[in-house]
Amino acid sequence: MHRFLLIALCAVSFACQKSADRDALGGKKLTVALLPKSKGNAYFISCKKGADTAAKELGVDLIFDGPTDPDPAKQNEIVENWITLGVDVIAAACENKEGISTALRRARSAGIKVVTYDADALPDARDFFVNQATPEGIGQALMDEAAKQIGPEGEFAIITASLTAQNMIEWQRHIEAQRAAKYPGLKMVALRPCDDKKDLAQSEAANLLGAYPNLKLIMAICSPAVPGAAEAVKQAGKAGQVKVIGLGLPNENRAYVKEGVTQTVILWNTLDLGYLTVQAAVATAKGTLTSGATVLTAGRLGEIKVEGDQIVLGKPFAFTRENIDEFDF
């Protein structure tokens, strides 16, 4: 047995020796490592598409890797591998805020720049957060879209995930603020929770249609509620008569949007999010974006506002019958 040990030791020392004379990764080209929450998620694949465009424009190498199984420690392991690999900058969408921050801090102390996108880490674990949408932006976009659909007067109802979820409360607060300021003729007649479930959203929407005959629009602010409300409106034979808008994903609403049951789905443009993330990552790595900056010049997106340590993608994006086929997530 000890003969084998000897062979093993020889091999390992050989291994160490060999890598010593090969240090940097493929010359001077900057390497950006993009970490999604999970790798197979169509949302992140769509982000990657935008990221690829930016990487090509900027002439940098892009590594895209993320967990494929539900092990919450996987993101950490990937980041730690990247530290050893010696990438220049890491852009992470964080599944576990506190957990991943441990690994990201290590990366920073190893001299790697870190930006986060989609879901932030703890502030001391990254240089910048590319924020896809502020609650204010989302609230305003939803309310503006509602007014665009039904005009200055009429009744509408909101279906939410739950009456206590923090993000829902915040969005709704901004919806109400925008309504009071710009569309006082519009009246919110009901606010119903659906427990983040499509079938419950559908029955709530059906109830609303029965209870409020003058209802002109249903606004669904959690993603399962958008197709849920659309299905109820469709089954009631009120497609087009009662409009449906909401915050959701293109794929699960595509059929309803094309049929004209759902008018608009609001979200951010994932292609732009990936694009901006790589732009921000490269600018941070090159030192052209440092703390205190107020603006980032981001290729085709032009000048992007930087607020503190957050880079804000800007206005949410409206998916409609005209453009929804450009997106697949």
Is 322 an interacting residue with respect to another protein (CB under 8 A)?
no
Task: Single out the segment in contact with another protein by CB under 8 A; choices: 63-71, 265-273, 281-289, 300-308.
Answer: 63-71
Q: Taking the complex as a whole, how short is the minimal distance between the CB of residue 292 and another protein, in angstroms?
A: 28
Alpha-carbon gap, residue 198 to 34, rounded angstroms: 32
According to CB under 8 A, which one of 46, 55, 101, 202 is a site residue for another protein?
101
The answer to whether the beta carbons of residues 133 and 306 sit under 8 Å apart is no
Q: Which CB atom, from 86 or from 185, has the smaller least distance to another protein? A: 86
Is 166 an interacting residue with respect to another protein (CB under 8 A)?
no
Q: What are phi and psi of 167, to 5 degrees?
A: -65, -35
Alpha-carbon gap, residue 246 to 223, rounded angstroms: 7
Q: Taking the complex as a whole, how short is the minimal distance between the CB of residue 46 and another protein, in angstroms?
A: 18
Q: Which CB atom, from 66 or from 248, has the smaller least distance to another protein? A: 66
Q: Taking the complex as a whole, how short is the minimal distance between the CB of residue 63 and another protein, in angstroms?
A: 7
- Tell me the CB-side half-sphere exposure of residue 34, using CA atoms within 13 A: 31
Q: Which CB atom, from 7 or from 169, has the smaller least distance to another protein? A: 7
Site string for another protein, 14-43 (x = CB under 8 A): xxxxxxx-xx-xx------------x----
Q: Which CB atom, from 66 or from 250, has the smaller least distance to another protein? A: 66
Amino acid at the residue 218: I
The residues in 102-131 that bind another protein, with binding defined as CB under 8 A, are 102, 106
- Dihedral (C-alpha) 99, 105, 110, 113: value to the nearest 10 degrees? 110
Long-range Cβ contact pairs of 14-17 (< 8 A, separation 24 or more): none
Using the Cα atoms of residue 171, residue 182, residue 253 and residue 226 in order, give the sign of their dihedral.
positive
According to CB under 8 A, which one of 6, 8, 163, 180 is a site residue for another protein?
8
Is 172 an interacting residue with respect to another protein (CB under 8 A)?
no
Q: Which CB atom, from 18 or from 28, has the smaller least distance to another protein? A: 18
Q: Which CB atom, from 8 or from 180, has the smaller least distance to another protein? A: 8
- In the chain the beta strands, taken as DSSP E runs, fall at 31-35, 61-64, 89-92, 113-117, 128-131, 154-160, 186-193, 215-220, 243-247, 262-267, 295-297, 303-307, 310-312, 317-319
Q: In angstroms, how far is the first alpha carbon of the chain from the final one?
A: 54
Site string for another protein, 66-95 (x = CB under 8 A): xxxxxxxx--xxx-xx-xxxx---------
Is 65 an interacting residue with respect to another protein (CB under 8 A)?
yes
Task: Single out the segment in contact with another protein by CB under 8 A; choices: 97-105, 130-138, 244-252, 286-294.
Answer: 97-105
225-258: burial string, b at 16+ Cβ within 10 Å, e else: bbbbbbbbbbeeeebeebbbbbbbbbebbbebbe
Alpha-carbon gap, residue 317 to 180, rounded angstroms: 23
Residues that bind another protein (CB under 8 A): 1, 4, 7-8, 11-12, 14-20, 22-23, 25-26, 39, 63, 65-73, 76-78, 80-81, 83-86, 96, 98-99, 101-102, 106
